[in-house]
Amino acid sequence: MSSKFNYPPEIKEKRKLYSLFNGVKDPLGVISGNHAIAGDSYHLKATFTNKYFIFSQDKELVEYILKQNHKNYFKSEIQSVTLGKYLGKGLLTNNGKDWLKQRRLIQPGFSKAKIANLVSIMKEEIDSAFSPFDKEPEIDLYDFFHTLAFNIVAKTLFSSDIDESKVKELGKIITEVQEVFAKEVRIPFYTQILQTLGVIDKTIRKSNKAKQIIQSVLEKRRNSGDEKNDLLDMLIHTRYEDTQLPMSDEQLVDEMLILFIAGHETTANALSFIFFEISQNPEVEKKLQQEITEEGENLFTTENLMKKSYTSNVIKEAMRLHSPAWAIDRQALEDDHFKDYSWKKGTLIILYITGLHRNPKYWSDPDSFIPERFDDENAKNFAYYPFGAGPRLCIGEHFAMMEMALIVRKFYKDYSFISFHKELQKKALVTLRTTSLKGKIIKNLT
């Protein structure tokens, strides 16, 4: 079958075995190493299942899959089936017409106009979270940002008060689900082993617990009779065009769970990397604080937060070096080809965003933190996709960028952060994260 197709160079024999056994604990190192050996695109053939995997950090191929020929590609079974059994059928895991219907329903809740109305709520949450800094200077910002970002999502999108213990429980469940999911995806036949050991059933029960917590938020809203004019109200009252029926509770909970996860986790992970990079680059911090001073009373206006600035450059550069969405997966619906390569229906395509963002073909001095590179007038055409691209571009991009800009500016207006780490330990699950960011907060004298 494969003889009629011209796949990219193959990773095989010893390197294939190395990739198999080390891919769970160090996927970034393994994939980057394979690209160093085979070039910007390579393929692996799963020995027992005969499935073909293409990995690519080539800008043109990434754009072909996500934009030019996106109709031939669904989210792969890695997410739609394996992750879907834990998180349900929300925007992250759904495909085809079902995905499109849900996207059209939810999209209006993330318009720039809607997001602009949320700044005051974000400010209140941030000010409340920052208030202990003067008395408790030592902190793990990784944990701090996860709690803060979760509370911001809860208040801005769902106008909801969720008990602190529930926030921590949801975060713990989400991490545990990702740990199991990563093992299922990266080790052949591991699903059967986990199933035999009862791990999968246990993890599904945990995810059902998370859904029960979300269901309680939904029921609290319905029972209150309040009109909040937020995303949750919109989801409850919206109707499908074809049937004029509302979303089922099951679908509502799935969408809310995905939005809670996507709306807080990627942002919290990105903030950890942003603050780490600033802590390692004093000249960047100085320039950032200079901009904060110069902006004066316009510092926290919606227009100012959303416009191009040195603040946004810092955020973008940190997300280039440490993109939370470190890979994007797609599966070919039909045979396809691009330039010299061709592949069969069912081939899984792994677009390696981390590699793309550090590819010396597209970036000068790719491993250095240089926010000024985004001043380039051609920046819109960079090999840069932290939020994906094409029709499945992250629905919360503007929300996340405004939230991160607000947090960065509010913090560095009054404080500095000294990291206890000189390097960050990274963990690549569904999203790329660090394990901690411990350090000390210093109150600015001016």
Mean pLDDT of 321-335: 96
Q: Edge-to-edge, what's the strand order for the sheet holding 138-140?
A: 138-140, 438-443, 415-419
Q: What is the pLDDT of residue 1?
A: 45
Q: Does residue 417 contact residue 308 with C-beta atoms inside 8 Å?
A: no
Is the pLDDT at 228 greater than 90? The verdict is no
Give dist(CA 440, CA 121) in Å, integer.
Answer: 27
Is the pLDDT at 41 greater than 80? The verdict is yes
**Other residues' Cβ atoms within 10 Å of the Cβ of residue 383:** 19
pLDDT in tens, 259-301: 888 888 899 999 999 999 999 999 999 999 999 999 999 999 9
Mean pLDDT of 90-107: 84
**Other residues' Cβ atoms within 10 Å of the Cβ of residue 149:** 25
Is the pLDDT at 144 greater than 90? The verdict is yes
Where do the domains of the chain lie, and which CATH numbers do they carry?
Answer: 2-443 (1.10.630.10)
Mean pLDDT of 201-228: 87
Q: Which of 38-47, 89-98, 322-331 has the lowest mean pLDDT?
A: 89-98
pTM, to two decimals: 0.91
Can you read off the two tokens belonging to residue 88? Answer: 């349900």
Q: Is 394 annotated as a binding residue?
A: yes
Mean pLDDT of 126-138: 90
Q: What is the mean pLDDT of the chain?
A: 89
186 confidence band (pLDDT: 50, 70, 90) = low
What size, in residues, is the chain?
446
What single-letter amino acid sits at 434?
T
Q: Which of 142-146, 174-178, 203-207 has the lowest mean pLDDT?
A: 174-178
Is the pLDDT at 390 greater than 90? The verdict is yes
Is the pLDDT at 147 greater than 70? The verdict is yes
**Other residues' Cβ atoms within 10 Å of the Cβ of residue 276:** 25
Q: Which of 130-139, 172-181, 211-220, 327-336 has the lowest mean pLDDT?
A: 172-181
Q: What is the pLDDT of residue 129?
A: 95
